[in-house]
Amino acid sequence: MLIAPFIVLASFAYVGLLFAIARYGDKRADAGRSIIANPYIYALSLAVYCTSWTFYGSVGRAATTGMGFLPIYLGPTLMAALWWFVMYKVIRISKANRLTSIADFVASRYGKSQLLGGLVTVIAIVGVVPYIALQLKAISVSFSIMLRYPDVVMPDKQGAPLFIGDNTFYIAMLLAAFTILFGTRHLDATERHEGLVAAIAFESLVKLVAFIAVGVYVTYFMYDGFADIFARAERIPQLAVLLYEGGDSGRYSTWASLLFLSMLSIMFLPRQFQVSVVENVDERHLGKAVWLFPLYLLVINVFVMPIALGGLMHFPQGIVDADTYVLTLPMSVQQPWLILLVFIGGLSAATGMVIVETIALSTMACNDLVMPLLLRQRWLRLTEWRDLSGLLLGIRRGAIVVIFVLGYLYFSLAGEAYALVSIGLISFSAVAQFAPAIIGGIYWKGGTRLGAICGLAAGFLVWLYTLLLPSFAKSGWLPITFLSEGYLGTDLLLPEQLFGLRDFDNITHCLFWSMAANIGCYVGLSLARKPTGAEHSQATLFVDVLKSSTLAASPPFWRGRATVQDLLALLGRFLGPERAREAYTQYARSRGLPAFERLEADAALVQHTESLLAGAIGSASARVMMSSTVDEEPLALDEVLHIIDEASQALAYSRQLEQKSAQLQAATDELRRANQRLQELDRMKDDFISMVTHELRTPLTSIRAFSEILSTHADLDAEQRHKFLNVIIKESDRLTRLINQVLDLAKLDSGRAEWRAEAVDLREVIEDAATTLAQVYRDRGVTLELELPATHAPVVADRDRLMQVMLNLLSNAAKYCDRPDGRVHVALRIMPDRLQIDVRDNGIGISAADQELLFEKFRQVGDTVGRRRSGSGLGLAICRQIVDHFGGQLWVDSKPGAGSTFSFTLPRGSGQAARASASDSAVAAVRALHG
């Protein structure tokens, strides 16, 4: 049954099943009903960590080092406990900044540096190529072995031709084709591949089931349980050693360094970053993963030792490669279905790894290596291309093929000399170089771009020299003298005993020196120079991501000009116009706007666009594209530091306080002014009261005095009596007048005055007033002239009030015109919309300062000190009230020594404009005086 065509068919069927699951997953994702939004699926997808290394290689390692295969799985278990803090932060940062790969993460953290992104990509590709070779080897070997069923024969180690005619090459190309189909059908701004995750979770289950099946079979069907196997193994001395020592005897360091390496690898292997961070749907899934993933590791490793011992005991020494026991044991007992299951399990383990890893690597290669280089070629004018999505997909597919070819080459050139696990550890040591830059990046704001670049470069070079090149030398591709003599032939630079450090296995040795160089350069160079503005802002975004949400939400650090259409067009060139519009519509809706046309091209939109772009082409390239489209003003370092310095928060608060205190100050000032006015009005009220009482008292005093005289002196002659009585009468009149005026003003003020509206001819009013005061004028010797038009001058007003105004003006004019040739001229002019009356006198005039006081209540303007005019100072105030009531205006025009002109206007014929005069509250106090 297990003939080649059947095996091939079964393999294709299995991969086809995976593909179907992936398509189903993608369809459900598009419909919004994701099947992977589930913590169990998330935890299972993390198990892509277990590859052919786990499936085949662990048994091989256990057969030589006993429990020494285990630290690779204990490390991730311990690291999972730290995920609660570390991974959570990494996921949060990546979501907030829309980072889609490790290279993106590092580049973004250190000021969106394209150089750093490219460096990380190169290290990742070079470092992971051996790991991919490992998978190819596993598939190829297992396939070759299966072909020889039922004989158990190891495949030929030598002699396979390169490329054409080499089965492994075809396997590699097939895998490349599958990977392209799985992961590069379209560009997703978030780089999420829901279908892929579903397929990977399924694969994790398959390999777990397959391995447990073999384990159970070997332990309980080929032997009689754990105790039986161990008891039998104990009896064989070489095997007994394996049981009781943990790892290479005496080499404690190996165990510890493997523990440490695997802790870093579970975080920084590109495929692990992809499934745990980029593909993460909900950060709360991390909780389940913290214990589910270690549980998976435990279960899949329980049977490793029994299988290893079983194989060692079953097969004669040295014939069968221990790496193949998982397959060859069922083969040796002729269990075809189990064999097929195991083969599919191994295929699962290998394909899962290569697909996810190469997709992650191709994303990095496209976004962080190729695109930045292409963007630099100005002659290509990439920034002007209409649609770049085709180019991007093409680059990714090309990258996938190239990576597989490299993997194949490594396998051909160096893979044969090594056990599977040893190859894998070389890759672990490579990705460990990312640890200082990333861990430092999320916890230490002082990490700079220069430090990261030098640290990475130094660590990578040490790794190259102490692990990768020796692996070529051990396979014969480099001269073996490289190992024995080293570079420049000095003892100090022996690749596996650098600077004389002996007694360590090559992994520990490399780990020590590469970490020393990496961390040393990273810390040293970061401290040597201050971070730039961009670095500092990115550092804060990363390190403080869990602090105030305002920092993450506020769109910062951008000044420039762009329109919404520009941004949309830019986005469309990378995502395709449809998806770009979708993305913008979603964004607009999240902002509460009905359509994306209503969006404003503000900093928030620009940042959102940049992050969407970063999803497609990496953050460094996105930065370049944005700045080429948008006119940007570069930020000055001190500006950025000023903005985001921690003190700026305090500054914001203090500014708020300043504002509040300024408002308080303004309110206080207003209150003070109001208070002053109140005091002034109070004084004026007091003055008025004293004046009024004085005015009232004066006539009263006269009246009383003269009455008393009349009463006590009965012997006054008739003339004197007559004179006194006249005085009394006059004073009484004056008193009455005064009281009437005050009452009048109060009534006018309070609006309780009665107004009569009647048609009045203004000419008549003026003439009547003139007649009334004619005697006064004659007495004073002032001539009165009237200049009245011939036509009718009608107004609708209260006749008496108008008379009051005229009388007041005329009597004032007479009073202040006290000179021999005094003349008062009254003119009535009819204008289109109003009537204007001017009362001009050639008296002493009124100074400018006094003019302002004239119309105020309680004010009197005297020309000389001490010379009291009769009157209360209320006359003009009353006049103004009256004129205001009629909708007119009353004013004075005068210069000292040049006479005065009092003028008032009345609207023509129209009704009264009932104007409510705004009275000060202080006047209410005065009104109270009148009751």
Least distance from another protein to the Cβ atom of residue 679, Å: 60
List 23, 188, 248, 287, residue binding another protein (CB under 8 A): 287
Phi-psi sector, 742: left (phi>0), alpha (psi -120 to 50), beta: alpha
- Give 88 or 460: the residue with its C-beta nearer to another protein: 88
- Give 74 or 145: the residue with its C-beta nearer to another protein: 74
Distance of CA 343 to the CA centre of its chain: 50
List 148, 186, 284, 756, residue binding another protein (CB under 8 A): 284
- Give 247 or 486: the residue with its C-beta nearer to another protein: 247
Q: Is 84 in the site for another protein (CB under 8 A)?
A: yes
Interatomic CA distance for residues 355 and 302, integer angstroms: 27
Q: Is 507 in the site for another protein (CB under 8 A)?
A: no
Least distance from another protein to the Cβ atom of residue 119, Å: 30
Least distance from another protein to the Cβ atom of residue 299, Å: 10
Q: Is 70 in the site for another protein (CB under 8 A)?
A: yes
- Give 77 or 804: the residue with its C-beta nearer to another protein: 77
Q: Is 244 in the site for another protein (CB under 8 A)?
A: yes
Q: Please enumerate in sequence order all residues whose Cβ is within 8 A of that of 158, keeping only pairs 6 or more positions apart, or say none.
A: 416
Interatomic CA distance for residues 738 and 728, integer angstroms: 15
Distance spanning both ends of the chain, measured CA to CA: 123
In order of 70, 327, 653, 654, 662, the CA distances from 658 in angstroms are 64, 78, 9, 6, 6
H or E, element range at 799: helix 799-815
Least distance from another protein to the Cβ atom of residue 78, Å: 5
List 12, 40, 221, 252, residue binding another protein (CB under 8 A): 252
Interatomic CA distance for residues 313 and 905, integer angstroms: 127
In order of 404, 474, 531, 592, 889, the CA distances from 420 in angstroms are 18, 14, 43, 56, 107
Q: Is 512 in the site for another protein (CB under 8 A)?
A: no
Q: Is 77 in the site for another protein (CB under 8 A)?
A: yes
Q: Is 245 in the site for another protein (CB under 8 A)?
A: yes
Give the number of C-alpha atoms closer than 13 A to the C-alpha of residue 227, restricted to the C-beta side. 0
- Give 46 or 728: the residue with its C-beta nearer to another protein: 46
DSSP codes joined into one string, 144-176: HHHHTTTS--PPPSS-PPSSTT-HHHHHHHHHH
Q: Which of residues 116-155 bind another protein (CB under 8 A)?
A: none
H or E, element range at 785: strand 783-787
- Give 219 or 358: the residue with its C-beta nearer to another protein: 219
Residue closest to 306 by CA, chosen among 127, 569, 63: 63
Q: What are phi and psi of 563, to 5 degrees?
A: -110, 160
Question: Which of the stretches 69-77, 161-169, 578-586, 654-662 binds another protein when contact is defined by CB under 8 A?
Answer: 69-77
- Give 287 or 556: the residue with its C-beta nearer to another protein: 287
Beta strand 631-632 with 758-761 is unpaired
Contact flags string 203-242 toward another protein, x per CB under 8 A = -----------------------xxx-xx--------x--
List 294, 330, 372, 843, residue binding another protein (CB under 8 A): 294
- Give 159 or 250: the residue with its C-beta nearer to another protein: 250
Least distance from another protein to the Cβ atom of residue 243, Å: 4
Q: What are phi and psi of 843, to 5 degrees?
A: -90, -150
- Give 92 or 823: the residue with its C-beta nearer to another protein: 92
List 216, 295, 671, 898, residue binding another protein (CB under 8 A): 295
The count of residues interacting with another protein (CB under 8 A) is 41
Interatomic CA distance for residues 72 and 79, integer angstroms: 11
Question: Which of the stretches 142-150, 267-275, 287-295, 406-414 binds another protein when contact is defined by CB under 8 A?
Answer: 287-295
Question: Which of the stretches 85-93, 127-135, 464-472, 841-849 binds another protein when contact is defined by CB under 8 A?
Answer: 85-93
Tokens of 875: 């006359």
List 3, 20, 82, 657, residue binding another protein (CB under 8 A): 82
Residue type, 49: Y
Question: Which of the stretches 136-144, 164-172, 285-293, 834-842 binds another protein when contact is defined by CB under 8 A?
Answer: 285-293
Q: Is 81 in the site for another protein (CB under 8 A)?
A: yes
Q: Please enumerate in sequence order all residues whose Cβ is within 8 A of that of 193, keeping only pairs 6 or more positions apart, or say none.
A: 22, 26, 182, 183, 279, 359
Least distance from another protein to the Cβ atom of residue 368, Å: 29
- Give 12 or 291: the residue with its C-beta nearer to another protein: 291
Least distance from another protein to the Cβ atom of residue 601, Å: 35
Least distance from another protein to the Cβ atom of residue 257, Å: 11
Residue closest to 103 by CA, chosen among 485, 370, 329: 370
Interatomic CA distance for residues 838 and 825, integer angstroms: 8
H or E, element range at 760: strand 758-761
- Give 249 or 656: the residue with its C-beta nearer to another protein: 249
List 302, 478, 705, 709, residue binding another protein (CB under 8 A): 302
Least distance from another protein to the Cβ atom of residue 320, Å: 23
- Give 249 or 481: the residue with its C-beta nearer to another protein: 249
DSSP codes joined into one string, 12-50: HHHHHHHHHHHHHHHHHHHTT--S--SHHHHHHHHGGG-
Q: Is 546 in the site for another protein (CB under 8 A)?
A: yes
Q: What are phi and psi of 436, to 5 degrees?
A: -60, -45
Q: Which of residues 255-274 bind another protein (CB under 8 A)?
A: 255-256, 259
- Give 1 or 227: the residue with its C-beta nearer to another protein: 227
Q: Is 881 in the site for another protein (CB under 8 A)?
A: no
Rounded to 5°, the CA angle 353-263-266 comes to 25
Q: Is 85 in the site for another protein (CB under 8 A)?
A: yes
Least distance from another protein to the Cβ atom of residue 497, Å: 23
Q: Which of residues 305-334 bind another protein (CB under 8 A)?
A: 305
Least distance from another protein to the Cβ atom of residue 430, Å: 23
Q: Is 503 in the site for another protein (CB under 8 A)?
A: no
Least distance from another protein to the Cβ atom of residue 275, Å: 19
- Give 57 or 294: the residue with its C-beta nearer to another protein: 294
Interatomic CA distance for residues 372 and 365, integer angstroms: 10
Least distance from another protein to the Cβ atom of residue 71, Å: 8
Q: Please enumerate in sequence order all residues whose Cβ is within 8 A of that of 841, keeping only pairs 6 or more positions apart, or say none.
A: 782, 813, 814, 816, 817, 822, 823, 824, 825, 899, 900, 901
Residue closest to 276 by CA, chosen among 355, 208, 360: 360
Instruction: Assess contact for 358 and 179: CB atoms under 8 A.
Output: yes
H or E, element range at 784: strand 783-787
Residues that bind another protein (CB under 8 A): 67, 70, 74, 77-85, 88-89, 226-228, 230-231, 240, 243-246, 252, 255-256, 259, 283-284, 286-288, 290-291, 294-295, 298, 302, 305, 546
